[in-house]
Structure 1
Amino acid sequence: MDLAELSERLVPFCREHLGDPAATVSNVETMPGHAGFSFGFTATANGESRSYVLRVPPPNVRRVGTADVIRQARVVHALRDTDVPVVDVIWSGEDERWFDSPYFIVNKLEGDVLRSDWGWDMPAEEMRPVAFQAMRALASLHLLDWREYVPDDGPPLELEPDVTRWDRFYERSGDMDLVALAPDVREKLLERLPEEPRIGIFHGDFQWSNVFYSFDGTLQAVIDWELWGVGATLNDLGWVITFADAEAWKHGLRHALPSPDDLIAEYVDTYGSDPGDIAWYRALAAYKFGIISGFNLYLHRSGKRPDESWEDTALSVPFLMRRALEVLDGG
């Protein structure tokens, strides 16, 4: 729906849920990063104005997986009294009379994600404590007993399918030369599957654009829980470290994040014990993103999903694959 229609729908919703028949809605806007399915707005009711963010699934898709917004709201709500900072879920529901779909609404935060001009321009001495907050939040998430917080969301995902499920995307790379090392990485990952991975709640896309800070550098919330699940928690650590590892990228990194070793040390210190074979999960993350980049390059070049940025990102695919082999070998 367009913003004018959404504005009209939000007025009766807010009047009912805020208990003010004269409530008004303003500043309705499309929020970044969600392909038009996350909207900000301000509601004024009972003499007070507050800003919110509405999340709805994409139209005309099955409401499962990343399109299951109620599932996202459920985990965020479950984490509200833990050491994992999350937004407050103000309303959620499956009553489609409001927006023609399930929905959830959270309070709108003031600040920005770390992967932004605000964050990336931060000097190293300021960046260090800011980034460490994210690592502590991640370890705190992984320490939670999933059976207590999300008991209906098991059983845990297995590791071998998390390697082999990328085969079909590898075969559709936009440039097979870029993924030439992928079969070697795949083989080594399967040879070295962790035997007893630590199981818990994982975020699924824990990276620097999904940690939201106030402008004084305080972590306010881990956001965007579309890919959360129950399984090997170190998937999250491997993923975020890959995006902090200059050796995994052709052009290095433009930000002043702490080194992978320092970030890992902060995570382990909060976790309180040896979390397992971190190198394996770092290699898996590099392997995944390398294949994802090659596949998105194919979608771009074929005209199915044009996005020129993948031409540049895909240049790092050989570096990602080489880095995966290096960390598996102890580099």
Structure 2
Amino acid sequence: MELDELQARLVPFVREKLGDPGARVENVQRGPGHAGFSYFFDAVLSSGERREYFLRLPPPGVKLEGTADLMRQVTAVRALEGTGVPHAPILWAGTEPDWFGLPYFVQPRLPGDTLKDDYPERFSDAQLREMARQAMTALAGIHRVPRERLGYLGEFWGYEFDVTRWDRFYERAAEPELLALQPRVKELLLRNIPHDAPIGLYHGDFQWSNLLYSPEGELLAVIDWELCGVGPTLNDLGWVCVFSDPAAWAHDRGSRMPHADELEAWYWEAMGGRPGDIRWFKALAAYKFGIITGFNLMLHRRGKRHDPHWEEIAPSMQSNMEYALRMLGG
């Protein structure tokens, strides 16, 4: 949707939702990320008060399921109410096409940034450790959300699906020789499934670029819930720990965040115990990311999605698989 069309649609929407027939809409901008279906905008009330918002729409012309089903994200974020997990509340959401022709949700725009690009350079090592500790406390809070709040998200599809769903991406990956260990890692993942792991709400992509911090280093919100669901909560812990373990990577990531061992310790402290072994989940995380890298590298090289960043990551495809194999004792 073009920005001028969106602004024209936002004016009656804002006036209705705020109960202010004189409200104006200004500063409509596209949000961050590749999808291009998130937007920022300001509402200026008749009193002169300015409020800043974030709008999310699904991609047009796609089936409204999975990541395109915005009500899944709405369910997860609303389930956080009263839990103490920092989040941007859902102000308005709906599936009616009256306003934008698509389902939507709106949140307040929070005054912070994520830990990507040069943002971490603003903080000392001590501040980054405290910010990481806040993140792991928030993750534990997410995993304690009562299951009865999550009905719309459905049930867990099974560990085998979590492993085999990546087969079709592996088959199309660039640099297949860097994924030579994939069959062995897949075999061990399927052979060593941890059937006793806790099941609950998971974020699906819990890592530093999906955490919003204030300029003072306070965690303001866990954001980007597109991949949320009901399943083994230790998937989130394994994922963030792999991103914070230099042993999993061959390329220089330049991260100043605490080591995975510290993150894990903070998480178990916040959970009040150790309800499982995360080595299998670390293995799955590294396995998934190695394949994701190969697939995105293929898209880039074929001109389907220009993103040269994957060329920098490519050397880690093999080390991701080697790391996964070590986690599985193979």
TM over 0.5: yes
Q: Contact 1:132–1:263 at 8 Å: present in 2 too?
A: yes
CA distance in 2, matches of 1:51, 1:61: 29
The AA in structure 1 aligned to 2:130 is P
The AA in structure 1 aligned to 2:36 is G
CA distance in 1, matches of 2:117, 2:69: 27
User: How is 1:42-53 mapped onto 2 (pairs within 5 angstroms)?
Assistant: 42-47=42-47, 48-53=49-54
What's the offset of the Cα at 1:36?
Answer: 1.4
What's the offset of the Cα at 1:34?
Answer: 4.9
How much identity, in percent, do the aligned residues show? 52
What's the offset of the Cα at 1:136?
Answer: 0.7
1:292 is paired with a residue whose SS is helix
- Identify the residue that residue 320 of structure 1 maps to in structure 2: 320
Q: Contact 1:210–1:223 at 8 Å: present in 2 too?
A: yes
What's the offset of the Cα at 1:64?
Answer: 0.8
- Given the superposition, is the C-alpha separation of residues 172 and 120 from structure 1 closer, same or farther in structure 2, using an over 3 Å criterion? farther
Moved more, 283-292 or 108-117: 108-117
1:151 paired with 2:141, answer: no
User: How is 1:14-93 mapped onto 2 (pairs within 5 angstroms)?
Assistant: 14-47=14-47, 48-93=49-94
1:178 is paired with a residue whose SS is helix
**Deviations for 1:284-314, whole angstroms, at most 9, x for unmatched residues?**
0000000011111112222222322211211
- Identify the residue that residue 208 of structure 2 maps to in structure 1: 208
CA distance in 2, matches of 1:118, 1:271: 29
Alignment gaps of 5+ in structure 2: none
What's the offset of the Cα at 1:121?
Answer: 5.3
The AA in structure 2 aligned to 1:265 is A
CA distance in 1, matches of 2:71, 2:169: 29
**Deviations for 1:19-57, whole angstroms, at most 9, x for unmatched residues?**
111110111101112521010000011411100011000
- Identify the residue that residue 106 of structure 2 maps to in structure 1: 105
What's the offset of the Cα at 1:186?
Answer: 1.0
Q: Contact 1:122–1:255 at 8 Å: present in 2 too?
A: no
CA distance in 2, matches of 1:14, 1:34: 26
Alignment gaps of 5+ in structure 1: none
- Identify the residue that residue 250 of structure 1 maps to in structure 2: 250
Q: Contact 1:157–1:232 at 8 Å: present in 2 too?
A: no
What's the offset of the Cα at 1:274?
Answer: 1.4
1:226 paired with 2:231, answer: no
How many residues align? The count is 329
Return the TM-score normalized by structure 1. Answer: 0.96
CA distance in 2, matches of 1:67, 1:151: 18
CA distance in 1, matches of 2:2, 2:258: 42
- Identify the residue that residue 266 of structure 2 maps to in structure 1: 266
**Deviations for 1:121-152, whole angstroms, at most 9, x for unmatched residues?**
53322210101111110011112221x22134
Q: Contact 1:244–1:253 at 8 Å: present in 2 too?
A: no
CA distance in 2, matches of 1:95, 1:16: 14
Q: CA RMSD in A?
A: 1.5
**Deviations for 1:142-174, whole angstroms, at most 9, x for unmatched residues?**
12221x221343322311111111112111111
1:325 is paired with a residue whose SS is helix
2:50 is paired with a residue whose SS is strand
Moved more, 157-166 or 298-307: 298-307
- Identify the residue that residue 188 of structure 1 maps to in structure 2: 188
**Deviations for 1:245-292, whole angstroms, at most 9, x for unmatched residues?**
111111243121111111100000111121212011001000000001
CA distance in 2, matches of 1:200, 1:221: 20
Q: Contact 2:251–2:313 at 8 Å: present in 1 too?
A: no
1:310 is paired with a residue whose SS is helix
What's the offset of the Cα at 1:84?
Answer: 1.5
- Identify the residue that residue 162 of structure 1 maps to in structure 2: 162
Q: Contact 1:122–1:256 at 8 Å: present in 2 too?
A: no
The AA in structure 2 aligned to 1:53 is F
What's the offset of the Cα at 1:120?
Answer: 5.0
CA distance in 1, matches of 2:89, 2:154: 24
1:209 is paired with a residue whose SS is helix
- Identify the residue that residue 119 of structure 2 maps to in structure 1: 118
Q: Contact 1:57–1:102 at 8 Å: present in 2 too?
A: yes
